[in-house]
Structure 1
């Protein structure tokens, strides 16, 4: 029952709107399905970082070090504001493709955006700290349980955001969204800047 509870909690956390969701939405509609899927993969890979330091107990040390935690918080805030401002300034009604970029370079660009958006979010760090503090115990098998739950969260993030990318790049939605793409990019950009500002103000 406890495992089921943690599984449902993870599902609710992943599906709740946040900076990751807005970024995947922005990249999917702005640059196409592959961009959204690369962003989703970046977010999923970032979860492995949270898992690693949570299991090792580093996140507790970070949360207890006010200066370090504040630095992470402001770095995450600045990155979100940068992405949001960039989205507003470059908003247009065409797909964000670059003739001088190979598919691999473009993929890595969107992957890094997803990765940094998630890994620099201190709220995500605190979520994993709180969850793993409940999962890990003196029991010899608790670390295996924690790693298992972490892998579940990675998979959950990857699947959910990939689904978002696929849904919002489907043909029926694309034909409608193309007409309002510029406005949508601006709204997503403003949303990212808002998340960044709120993160800095917390």
Structure 2
């Protein structure tokens, strides 16, 4: 029963709207399906970092070091605000990849955006510390933990890839064309909002 609860909790956490969702949506509607998928891949790769330090116990040390936690928090907040401002001043108006940018460069750009957006989020760090403390308390927890970590990583990849595919589907993208600028601005403002809230939130 505990395993089932943890599996369900993982799904709920992944699909809850947040900065990752706003970033994938923004990149997808502005620069096309591939950019959204590479952003999703970057997010899922960042999950391996959270899994790694959680299993090694480094996360526990970070969460109990006030200055290090604050450094990560402010870095994450500033990065989200940067992404939001960049989105607001973007002149892109079509759901197609930017002209003049090589595919390799685009891949690296969106992978990096997804990776940094997730890995610099202290809320994600605390979630993994909390969830893995529960997993490790189970019988054979040390064996289950890596498998559960892989499960969470795949959930992120599947969910955010689905978001990219859905919002760039021919039917939905056509319906959203007239609202493209509004959606872009809404996503950008959401990223700025998440960043501001993260920066203003009192330390733990």
TM category, shorter: over 0.9
| RMSD over aligned Cα atoms | 1.3
**Equivalent pair of 1:93/1:180 in contact (CA under 8 Å):** no
Asked if residue 119 in structure 1 is aligned to residue 119 in structure 2, the reply is yes
1:13-37 deviation line (CA, Å, top 9, x unaligned): 0010000000000001010000000
Question: Cα offset for 1:138?
Answer: 8.9
Taking the aligned partners of 1:92 and 1:51, their CA distance within structure 2 comes to 36
Q: How does 1:173-188 map to 2 (within 5 A)?
A: 173-188=172-187
Query: What secondary structure does 2:71 align onto?
Result: helix
Which residue number in structure 2 is paired with residue 102 of structure 1? 102
Query: What secondary structure does 1:94 align onto?
Result: coil
Taking the aligned partners of 2:95 and 2:166, their CA distance within structure 1 comes to 17
Query: What secondary structure does 1:101 align onto?
Result: coil
Query: What secondary structure does 2:99 align onto?
Result: coil
Taking the aligned partners of 2:183 and 2:175, their CA distance within structure 1 comes to 11
Q: How does 1:1-202 map to 2 (within 5 A)?
A: 1-95=1-95, 97-137=97-137, 141-202=140-201
Taking the aligned partners of 1:112 and 1:27, their CA distance within structure 2 comes to 12
Structure 1 consecutive aligned stretches of length 4 or more whose deviation exceeds 3 Å: 95-100
Question: Cα offset for 1:179?
Answer: 1.8
Matched residue count = 201
Question: Cα offset for 1:142?
Answer: 1.8
| TM-score between the two structures when normalised by the length of structure 1 | 0.96
Taking the aligned partners of 1:8 and 1:53, their CA distance within structure 2 comes to 23
**Equivalent pair of 2:42/2:112 in contact (CA under 8 Å):** yes
Question: Cα offset for 1:80?
Answer: 0.2
Query: 1:105/1:165 Cα in 2 relative to 1: closer, same or farther (>3 Å)?
Result: same
**Equivalent pair of 1:91/1:186 in contact (CA under 8 Å):** no
Query: What secondary structure does 2:36 align onto?
Result: helix
| TM-score between the two structures when normalised by the length of structure 2 | 0.95
Query: What secondary structure does 2:88 align onto?
Result: helix
Taking the aligned partners of 1:163 and 1:101, their CA distance within structure 2 comes to 25
Query: What secondary structure does 1:17 align onto?
Result: coil
**Equivalent pair of 1:91/1:182 in contact (CA under 8 Å):** no
